[in-house]
Structure 1
Amino acid sequence: MSSTPDLAPAARRMAALLANVPDYRLTAPTPCADTSLGALIDHVNGLALAFTWAAEKDFPEGGSPPPSADAAGLPPDWRARIPERLDALAAAWRSPDAWQGMTKAGGIDLPGREAGHVALNELVVHGWDIARAAGQSYAAGDDEIEACLAFVAPAVEQSNGEGVPGLFGPAVDVPADAPALDRLIAMTGRSPSWTASQT
C-alpha cells in the first residue's frame, strides 16, 4: 500500500465515542477479555500519547512505556484530555516523515510505516470495542477498514490464526462474505456479534 492513511477520521470518531460514555459505564465489560471500559479508555489515553511520540520520533527520558489498561489511571479530566491527545496523534501522522525510517512504541522498535498502521488499527478496533461496551453505534470508513485489513491479514496468516501477542487474540471464524468491518474485528480475536449484555 503506497499511500499512507489519514488517522484523523478514526481519531475524531474515538473522541465522539468517549464524549458519550457516562461514568456509570466505566465498570462495564468490553470485548477485550478481563478489561473494563474504564481500563480500555485508559489504554487509549496511553496509546494516543505513545503513538504521537512514535510519529514525531521524539521520546521522553527513559523511553515510551507500554500503554497501561487501568481505570484507576484515568485522569479526572479524561473527557477533555484524551480528545486533545487524539487530535495531536492525527496531526503527527499527517507528516510524511512520520512514516519514514524506524521509530518505537511501547518500548518496541518498528518501522514508521508499521507504527502508523498499528496506530490506525488501534483506533479503529478499540473504537469498535468502546462503542460495543458503551452501547453506541459504530461505523468506520471503508478506506480505514481496508487499510487495517491489509495490515492485520498478513500478521494473522503468519500466526496461523493463533493471534499476535500484545496486539490481538486468536482469530474468530466469520463467513467469507461477512462485512469488511466484521472480518477485521474477527481477525483481531473478537466476535462481531459481541454485546455488553452477553457478559
Structure 2
Amino acid sequence: MDSDERETVGPAEPAFGVGELMERAAGRAVPVVAAIADGDLERPTPCAQYTVKDLVNHLIQVLVQFQALAAKGESDFSGAPDFVGEDAAGWRDRFAREASALVAAWSRPGAEEGTAGAMNMPARLVGSMALLDLTVHAWDLARATDQRYEAPAEVVGPLIAAVSELGPTARRMNVFGAEVEVAASADPFVRLLAATGRRV
C-alpha cells in the first residue's frame, strides 16, 4: 500500500468512558465515606481549609452539581450546603446515592460529547474534574480518618492527563496547591497527588 492509499489514523479512543471510570472511583470512595465515624467529623484533612465534615459536604455538592453538568445543564456552587448537619443519620447513604446517580449521569449517551458548563469546556474534561474530586478527596478523607485508600489503576492515567491540562489555571485559582516534587519513578497515584499539591 503506497502513501496515497494509507488511511489517516486519528487519535486513539479512550480505553474507558468517564462513566466507567467514575463507577470504579465511586466503588473505592463510598466505603471510605461509609466508615467515617461521627467523632471524625471535626478532624483536619490534607485540604487545609476543610475539616472532614466540610470535605464530605463539598464532595456531596460536587456529586450533585456534576450530575447537572452531564446533562448539559448549569451548576451552582455559590452556596455551601450542610448535608451532614441536615441529615446526621443519613448523609453516608446520601453520598452513596449521589455517587451512583453521578455514574449514571455520565454513562448516558452524549454525556461526554460537546461542551458543558458556563466556561464551555469539553464535556469529557468537565467529567474528569468530578472524577478527580471523587478520587483525590476520597484519599483526603481516608488519610484524615486513618483508613487505607488505593485508587483504581485505570483512573489514574486519565487523571494525570487532566491535571496536566487543568493545573495552571487551578493553581492560579488556589484549587490546587503548588506541585510537590517527586521522583520520576514514583507510583503514578503519588505523582497525581503531588501534581495537586499533596504530600504522601
Shorter-chain TM-score category? 0.7 to 0.9
Asked if the contact 1:47–1:67 (Cα under 8 Å) also holds between the matched residues in 2, the reply is no
Given residue 150 of structure 2, which amino acid in structure 1 is its aligned partner?
A: A
Q: Secondary structure at the match of 2:110?
A: helix
Within 5 Å, give how 1:1-199 maps onto structure 2: 2-3=13-14, 4-5=17-18, 6=20, 7-59=22-74, 64-66=76-78, 68=80, 75-76=87-88, 77-104=90-117, 108-156=119-167, 158=168, 163-165=171-173, 167-192=175-200
Hey, what's the Cα distance between the residues in 2 that align with 1:80 and 1:33? 26
Please state how far the C-alpha of 1:73 moved relative to its aligned partner.
5.2
Post-superposition CA distance 1:2-39 (Å, at most 9, x none): 32332101112211111100000000010001210100
Please state how far the C-alpha of 1:166 moved relative to its aligned partner.
5.3
After TM superposition, which residue ranges in structure 1, 4 or more long, deviate above 4 angstroms? 69-74
Asked if the contact 2:56–2:84 (Cα under 8 Å) also holds between the matched residues in 1, the reply is no
Asked if the contact 2:159–2:192 (Cα under 8 Å) also holds between the matched residues in 1, the reply is yes
| Structure index of larger Rg | 2
Hey, what's the Cα distance between the residues in 1 that align with 2:146 and 2:183? 24
* Residue aligning to 2:7: none
Consecutive unaligned residues of structure 2, counting only runs of 5 or more, are 1-11
* Residue aligning to 1:196: none
Identity, % of aligned pairs?
A: 32
Post-superposition CA distance 1:128-167 (Å, at most 9, x none): 11110111101111110111001112333x46xx825253
Asked if the contact 2:83–2:91 (Cα under 8 Å) also holds between the matched residues in 1, the reply is no
User: Mean alpha-carbon deviation: is it higher for 171-180 or for 74-83?
Assistant: 74-83
Asked if the contact 1:155–1:164 (Cα under 8 Å) also holds between the matched residues in 2, the reply is no
Say what the alpha-carbon RMSD is for the aligned residues: 2.2
Consecutive unaligned residues of structure 1, counting only runs of 5 or more, are 193-199
CA, structure 1 residues 12+186, in 2 after alignment: closer, same or farther (shift >3 Å)? same
Scaled by the length of structure 2, what TM-score is found?
0.83
CA, structure 1 residues 103+66, in 2 after alignment: closer, same or farther (shift >3 Å)? farther
Post-superposition CA distance 1:68-90 (Å, at most 9, x none): 38687553221111110000001
Given residue 175 of structure 2, which amino acid in structure 1 is its aligned partner?
A: L
Asked if the contact 2:171–2:177 (Cα under 8 Å) also holds between the matched residues in 1, the reply is yes
Please state how far the C-alpha of 1:91 moved relative to its aligned partner.
1.0
Hey, what's the Cα distance between the residues in 2 that align with 1:82 and 1:122? 13
Aligned residues: 184
